[in-house]
C-alpha cells in the first residue's frame, strides 16, 4: 500500500521570542513579517505543522547572506546551515529560525529558510534583514 503524502501548514512566520531548544517548547510569535530589523539577538523564522510523516526525515536549510564564522567576525562566510530532523510524531510542529549576532553588518540581506521531505519543499520563506533606521535629520533651526 502506498504511503500517504505528508501534509503541512504554516502556524507562524516572522519575529519570535528567543528559542530555547532544551525547553521543548516553541517560541511565541511576536510579529508576523518577512522584513526583520537588524538587532542583536533578534529571533526570526517560522513554525510549520507536519502531519502524516512520522519517522520521515525532514531536511532543513538556512541560506544566509554570508554570516561569518564566530571565531573570526571578519573572516570568510560560513556555508548555508543544513540539517535533518526525523518527524517524531503523527502531528509535529517544527520551528526553523535563527537569531542575529555581531557583527550585524554581515547579517544584512536575504535569509532563505526552507524545509523539505523526500526532495519536495514543504515551505520556503525569504526574510530580509535590514539596518535599523538612522537618526532623524535635524530640521531647519
* Per-residue pLDDT tens digits for 46-56: 999 999 999 99
Tell me the longest C-alpha to C-alpha distance in the chain.
79
Percent with pLDDT over 90 in the chain: 72
CA distance 14 to 60: 17
CA distance 36 to 60: 20
Residue ranges of domains in the chain: 7-130
CA distance 140 to 96: 47
pLDDT band with cut points at 50, 70 and 90 for residue 32: very high
CA distance 140 to 106: 35
pTM for the full model?
0.88
**What's the CATH fold of domain 7-130?**
Immunoglobulin-like (2.60.40)
Residues 6 or more apart whose CB falls under 8 angstroms from that of 131 comprise 37, 38, 104, 108
Amino acid at each position: 500500500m502506498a504511503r500517504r503524502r505528508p501534509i503541512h501548514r504554516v502556524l507562524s512566520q516572522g519575529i519570535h521570542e528567543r528559542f530555547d531548544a532544551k525547553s521543548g517548547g516553541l517560541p511565541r510569535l511576536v510579529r508576523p513579517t518577512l522584513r526583520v530589523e537588524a538587532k542583536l539577538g533578534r529571533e526570526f523564522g517560522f513554525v510549520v505543522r507536519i502531519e502524516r510523516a512520522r519517522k520521515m526525515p525532514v531536511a532543513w536549510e538556512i541560506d544566509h547572506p554570508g554570516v561569518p564564522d564566530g571565531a573570526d567576525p571578519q573572516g570568510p562566510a560560513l556555508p548555508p546551515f543544513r540539517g535533518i530532523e526525523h518527524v517524531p510524531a503523527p502531528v509535529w510542529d517544527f520551528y526553523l529560525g535563527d537569531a542575529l549576532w555581531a557583527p550585524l553588518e554581515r547579517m544584512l540581506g536575504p535569509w532563505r529558510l526552507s524545509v523539505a521531505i523526500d526532495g519536495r519543499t514543504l515551505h520556503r520563506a525569504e526574510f530580509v534583514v535590514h539596518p535599523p533606521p538612522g537618526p532623524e535629520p535635524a530640521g531647519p533651526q
